[in-house]
Structure 1
């Protein structure tokens, strides 16, 4: 199949509708017909403002996070339309990909 890999970049301390932004994104994707999503937490990142964002034992709020999906163009369009109705901003990267499944399904 043809589609896109979309990765959203945020920090652990960002909140939206009373939830951590990354968790809120995962919830929205769960409610939509998105095939799957992965939430990753990084040790360190460099933001668009050239500030380091990193994990510290005393302060986790600045820890970088990514939420990634691989989906068809229609699924990505529906997701972007849904997120466009919200009152927040988030950086993302969108890359064309070919995707599919190999092997037998687990029984």
Structure 2
């Protein structure tokens, strides 16, 4: 199947409606029917400001988070529209991909 892989980059201390931005994106992608998604905590990173974000002892809330979502085009567009509607400030990369399953019971 053809579709998109979208990577969202944020920090653990950023929240919306009581969830972290990363959790909100992952949950919304699931509700919209994305093929799959993964949230990953990073050890260290930097963003547009150049500030280092890390999972250091005193800065755990500032830990970088990445959400990777794979989905078809209509679900990708619906997810991007939902993020825009909530006015969430998040950096993303979107790439066209082919995705599917191999060797597993497809039930």
Pair in the same fold by TM > 0.5 = yes
Displacement of 1:88 in angstroms is: 2.0
Runs of 4+ in 1 over 2 A off after TM superposition: none
- Could you tell me how far apart the structure 2 residues matched to 1:81 and 1:104 are? 33
User: Considering only aligned residues, what root-mean-square deviation do their CA atoms show, in Å?
Assistant: 1.6
The alignment partner of 2:89 has SS state of: coil
SS in 2 for 1:61: helix
Corresponding residue number in structure 2 for 1:65: 65
Q: TM-score scaled by structure 2?
A: 0.90
Q: How does 1:48-63 map onto structure 2 within 5 Å? A: 48-63=48-63
Match of 1:86 in 2: 86
Structure 2 counterpart of 1:36 = 36
Which whole-Å CA distance do the structure 1 matches of 2:35 and 2:90 have between them?
Answer: 21
Closer/same/farther in 2, CA of residues 5 and 106 from structure 1, 3 Å limit: closer
User: C-alpha displacement at 1:11, in angstroms?
Assistant: 0.3
If each structure's helix is expressed as a fraction of its own residues, which one has the higher value?
Answer: 2
- Tell me the number of residue pairs that the alignment of Structure 1 and Structure 2 aligns: 107
Matches of 1:8 and 1:91 in 2, distance apart?
A: 6
Give the Cα separation in 2 of the matches to 1:28 and 1:106. 24
Instruction: Give the structure 1 partner of residue 8 of structure 2.
Output: 8
1:19-43 deviation line (CA, Å, top 9, x unaligned): 2111121221222111221000000
Gaps of 5+ in 1: none
For 1:98 and 1:89, the matched residues in 2 are separated by: 28
